[in-house]
């Protein structure tokens, strides 16, 4: 069933919002927005979530023929791989994840040659061509579960070194980072000193941190988890104040789902510029002109799909 959101953010003019709703009906489209998107995009979307939550939503939307995936390149690619009969559109062609670009097919092949019997686990924050080389994918929500499920004590893991480190701590396995220094530039900017200052101001606050942050941030955290897990934790907790260590866009969802609670960003400028590229006008143009279509060569998509489906079988 296609869902029409009732809440239109002040950031989108009524006229533009109506045009988008009209086009959505005509094209049998749904709009999916990542938790890090601008608030006005989240309010326009049918669903907001992390990349795999959104791809799963897309798979269950039987009536939809077209998916506007408001996020960055690798996420729209995953949606397309998992929904091969649907048109998947990325509103901004230049919305690319710098961390995903840090890993190349050559690096994976070289690592496989060097460690022939070691399985390759790739974070979903990778391009389709890389996923096609992996044994299995994982998200930040299920990485520990995926690595634990493998019958191997040493694992090649990419591209986020911080997530690899966190998973190694949790599983006791040896994770070889691939590349050796992959990172998310936005999560790298969080510093524990700034959290300490906030903790002095709000001593009862719980600190919620994404595993893409550095170890010093993980050590200061009360809870470490993916964006979806951070949202669930905040909702279920009796605590009223939180300091949040992930991209700024998540605050909109947290505040909307928990109006009686207060959230402070652990670092004010934790903004992923790529996640913030898409505007309501881009959504409108994407629907109207059907751009930019995600088109992955069939053989690559098929192999990447296997890596993603293996992950779903575990998680
Ligand atoms: S927040 Fe980090 S991992 Fe996510 S899209 Fe931006 S750069 Fe990539």
The whole-number pLDDT of residue 11 equals: 62
pLDDT tens, residue order, the chain (315 aa): 343 443 444 467 889 999 999 999 999 999 999 999 999 999 999 999 988 788 788 888 888 999 999 999 999 999 999 999 999 999 999 999 999 999 999 999 999 999 999 999 999 999 999 999 999 999 999 999 999 999 999 999 999 999 999 999 999 999 999 999 999 999 999 999 999 999 999 999 999 999 999 999 999 999 999 999 999 999 999 999 999 999 999 999 999 999 999 999 999 999 999 999 999 999 999 999 999 999 999 999 999 999 999 999 996
Structure tokens at 67: 């998916």
**Cα three-residue angle 188-276-268, rounded to 5 degrees:** 45
Verify that 166 and 128 share a domain, yes or no.
yes
3-state secondary structure of 4: coil
Does 231 share its domain with 282? no
Please report the atom of ligand 1 found closest to the CA of residue 98.
Answer: 7
In a domain, 251, yes or no: yes
CB-based contacts of 25, cutoff 8 Å, min separation 6: 2
CB proximity list for 310: less than 8 A, separation 6 or greater: 135, 136, 137
Residues 57 and 112 in one domain: no
The verdict on 108 and 54 lying in the same domain is: no
For the Cβ of 273 lying below 6 angstroms from any atom of ligand 1, the answer is no
- The count of domains in the chain is 3
**Residue 224 lies in domain:** 187-265
- Tokens encoding 250: 């998540």
Atom of ligand 1 nearest to the CA of 184: 2
Residue 246 in contact with ligand 1 by CB distance below 6 A:
no
CATH code at 122?
Answer: 3.40.50.10800
Between helices 298-314 and 73-82, what is the axis angle to 10°? 90
Within a domain: residue 312?
no
Strands 241-245 and 206-209 come out as parallel
Instruction: Classify residue 192: in a domain, yes or no.
Output: yes
167/224 same-domain check: no
Phi-psi region of 107 (alpha: psi -120 to 50; beta: other; left: phi over 0): alpha
- Tell me, yes or no, whether 175 and 117 share the same domain: yes
Cβ of 186 less than 6 Å from ligand 1: yes
Atom of ligand 1 nearest to the CA of 274: 6
133 and 66 inside one domain: no
Q: Give a yes or no: residue 8 inside a domain.
A: no
Q: Which of 183, 206, 231 is the last residue of a domain?
A: 183
3: in domain? no
Give the global pTM.
0.94
């Amino acid at each position: 069933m296609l869902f029409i959101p009732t809440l239109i953010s002040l950031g989108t003019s009524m006229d533009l919002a109506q045009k988008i709703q009209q086009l959505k009906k005509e094209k049998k489209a749904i709009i999916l927005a990542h938790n890090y998107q601008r608030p006005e995009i989240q309010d326009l979307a049918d669903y907001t979530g992390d990349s795999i939550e959104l791809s799963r939503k897309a798979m269950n939307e039987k009536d939809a023929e077209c998916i506007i995936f408001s996020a960055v390149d690798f996420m729209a690619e995953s949606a397309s791989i998992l929904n091969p009969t649907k048109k998947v559109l990325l509103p901004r062609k230049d919305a690319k994840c710098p961390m995903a670009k840090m890993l190349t097919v050559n690096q994976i092949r070289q690592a496989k040659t060097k460690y022939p019997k070691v399985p390759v686990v790739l974070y979903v924050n990778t391009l389709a061509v890389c996923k096609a080389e992996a044994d299995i994918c994982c998200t930040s929500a299920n990485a520990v579960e995926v690595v634990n499920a493998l019958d191997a004590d040493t694992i090649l893991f990419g591209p986020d070194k911080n997530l690899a480190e966190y998973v190694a701590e949790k599983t006791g396995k040896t994770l070889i980072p691939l590349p050796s220094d992959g990172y998310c530039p936005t999560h790298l900017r969080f510093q524990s000193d700034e959290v300490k200052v906030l903790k002095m101001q709000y001593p009862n606050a719980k600190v919620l941190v994404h595993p893409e942050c550095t170890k010093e941030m993980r050590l200061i955290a009360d809870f470490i988890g993916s964006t979806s897990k951070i949202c669930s934790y905040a909702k279920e907790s009796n605590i009223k104040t939180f300091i949040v260590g992930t991209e700024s866009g998540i605050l909109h969802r947290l505040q909307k789902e928990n109006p009686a609670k207060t959230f402070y960003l652990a670092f004010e400028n934790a903004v992923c510029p790529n996640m913030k590229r898409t505007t309501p006008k881009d959504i409108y143009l994407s629907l109207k002109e059907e751009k930019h279509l995600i088109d992955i060569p069939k053989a690559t998509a098929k192999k990447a799909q296997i890596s993603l489906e293996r992950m779903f079988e575990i998680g």
